[in-house]
Amino acid sequence: MNDQTMTFSIGDQTEQEIRNVLMLVYDALKEKGYNPINQIVGYILSEDPTYITTHNNARNLIKRIDRDVLLKSLIKYYLTA
């Protein structure tokens, strides 16, 4: 058994790209009358894209961001803010 800590490396999408997509998805969900935070959390936890509306291409936009990259970005934001 290896006692070395494994490292985890994820994609190279920029923080600004992720922020832009999240804002567009948030706005699309809000326009359709959904609670955007709940819907985005549902998507992150389940990776089920049906939590995100197709309005304004939001579903396709969020699927472009790797879920691990999205989680890394959110955690980084809160731990370094």
pLDDT one-digit tens code per residue, 51-64: 999 999 999 999 99
CA distance 68 to 10: 7
Which secondary-structure segment (H or E) carries 28? helix 15-31
Average pLDDT over residues 8-13: 55
Residue 73 has pLDDT above 80, yes or no: yes
Tens digits of per-residue pLDDT, 23-53?
999 999 999 999 999 999 999 999 999 999 9
- Residue 37 has a pLDDT of 96
Closest CA to 26 of 16, 36, 39: 36
Q: Can you give the residue ranges of every domain in the chain? A: 15-80
- Residue 14 has a pLDDT of 85
Closest CA to 16 of 73, 76, 75: 73
This prediction's pTM: 0.79
Residue 9 has pLDDT above 60, yes or no: no
